[in-house]
Structure 1
Amino acid sequence: MSIQNNLHTIQSTLPINVQLIAVSKTKPIADILEAYNAGQRAFGENKIQEMVGKFEQLPKDIEWHMIGHLQRNKVKYMASFVHLIHGVADFKTLKEINKQAIKHNRTINCLLELKIASEDTKFGLSFDELEQILTSSELKELKNINIQGFMGMASFTNDESIIHAEFKALKNQFESSKKHISTNFNPTILSMGMSGDYKIAIAEGSTMIRVGSAIFGIRNYN
């Protein structure tokens, strides 16, 4: 099937409250344009340099989502245009995002990444660390960030009961954290679910899914 057909197949099954992020990492400009011409506007990248290059070449109404593990020293390269940063896993990174946002006179939207999988390869805050951030007086000083919710990745397993449980735990934490709503913490987005498990994620309350191979085909590794 074509990229356009893949997109339409997925979009036709999504609840109205779930946003699709097309994960375009490693994919060429031509593939992204095919998705764009099919109506897709939100794209996810995991390397800042690659995202900057694509931003410069592609239409400016695209929403660019940084979905990869974030290195603080590279925030400055995307601070002028990034729409949403998904993978913020520590307070120092929040401070750097705020610093770079001030330089561009804008507020940068981001999600806190929570570790819900048992695998050591996954990044993210523990629920206790999240609570420390949300109750910190320092957080209130970061006027140029807007934490819109959470992101999490489930374990890579064929056992769907484990995936359901991990997504459910994140959804429960998302709901309980709403008691901390403030000027820069407005939890409306729960980003969970990828090509292999997005249907489970939606069943457990996801409002944003990150889908790559189911749209563009098998990823090119580089």
Structure 2
Amino acid sequence: MGQDICQNIEDVSTRIRKACTRADRDPEEVQLIAISKMKPLEDIKTAFGCGQLHFGENRAKELQDKMEAYEEDQIQWHMVGNLQTNKIKYMVNRVNWIDSVPKSKTLREIEKRASRIDRVINTLIQINISGEDQKSGCEPENLADILEYAQGLEYVRVRGLMGMATFVDKDKVEKVRPEFQLLREVRDEHRSYECKNIQLDELSMGMTNDMEIAIEEGSTMVRVGRAIFGERNY
């Protein structure tokens, strides 16, 4: 299985490089985040041994457990799932990125908890780009208020935006291109809010099925689980 994970990472990296070539972009601009939810810690250790540094979890308790069990300084841990504010206190001492911030209230809690340990946390504001009710994130028209609030924070760094496109089969991925275009356009429209702790350079969009389309539309982070670790046992 270890060899499979290493080969899978290389295969995904090849896909990223080819997509960047088509889009006339530098592959170094795109960060691969390995989504390890529901996968054992041994798989993370294997992937880390293959050179993978960024890992994402979508459940607060699972993230907490894995961070505590594998205290490897080089790893960059991402929280990518729905986040209840009362769970933030359990992760601020180790998490590097909280990619799924939907509102100012979440930023306020991150700031409060991070200030107590004098630690800066990277964040992404999640935008609902699919229009689906079950998808988390703020509406594009609410982003300005969140960024205005974030300008006054000291321990929160807003690094960009995150979006989850409508899930479609691989042969229909072209249908989600407008959703990725929307996230990029929303980001560009809010550049005026950038300041010392807000730099909207990152666009986290694209997963196993649609990463190429996302890269063509400006993604700087792709979140890939299945193509690296295989199917999950729910």
User: Does 1:145 find its partner at 2:156?
Assistant: yes
The one of 51, 57, 64 equivalent to 1:52 is 64
SS class of match (2:29): coil
Following TM superposition, where does structure 1 have runs of at least 4 consecutive aligned residues deviating by more than 2 angstroms? 138-141, 157-162
Aligned to 1:9: 11
Match of 2:54 among 42, 52, 59: 42
* Equivalent position of 2:167 in the other structure: 156
Contact 2:36 2:56 in 1 (8 A): yes
Deviation at 1:170, TM superposition (A): 0.6
Q: Pick which of 151-160 and 120-129 moved more.
A: 151-160
Match for residue 128 of structure 2? Answer: 115
Matched, 1:63 2:86: no
Once residues 151 and 123 of structure 2 are traced to their aligned partners in structure 1, the CA distance between those partners, rounded to angstroms, is 15
Distance apart, 1:12 and its partner CA: 2.6
Alignment of 1:142-221 (within 5 A): 142-158=153-169, 159-221=172-234
| Greater displacement, 158-167 / 25-34 | 158-167
- The structure richer in helix per residue is 2
- Corresponding letter in the other structure for 1:119: E
Residues 39-89 of structure 1 deviation map (CA, whole Å, 9 limit, x = unaligned): 111100011211121112222321100000111000000101111100000
The aligned amino acid for 2:209 is G
What is the rounded CA distance, in whole Å, between the counterparts of 1:30 and 1:165 in structure 2? 38
How much is the aligned-residue C-alpha RMSD, in angstroms?
A: 1.3
* d(CA) in 2 for partners of 1:162, 1:132: 30
TM-score (norm 1): 0.94
Cα distance in 1 for partners of 2:28, 2:75 equals: 20
* Contact residue 79 and residue 100 of structure 2 kept, 8 A: yes
Letter in 1 for 2:49: N
The question of whether the paired residues in 1 share the 8 Å contact of 2:93 and 2:114 is answered with yes
Where in structure 2 are there 5+ consecutive unaligned residues? 17-26
Q: Please give the residue correspondences for 1:78-117 in structure 2 after superposition, counting only pairs within 5 Å.
A: 78-117=91-130
State the secondary structure of the residue aligned to 1:39.
coil
How far, CA to CA, are the matches of 1:30 and 1:157 in structure 2?
Answer: 30
Aligned length: 219
Preserved contact between residue 56 and residue 77 of structure 2 (Cα < 8 Å): yes
Matches of 1:139 and 1:120, distance apart in 2: 25
Deviation at 1:157, TM superposition (A): 2.6
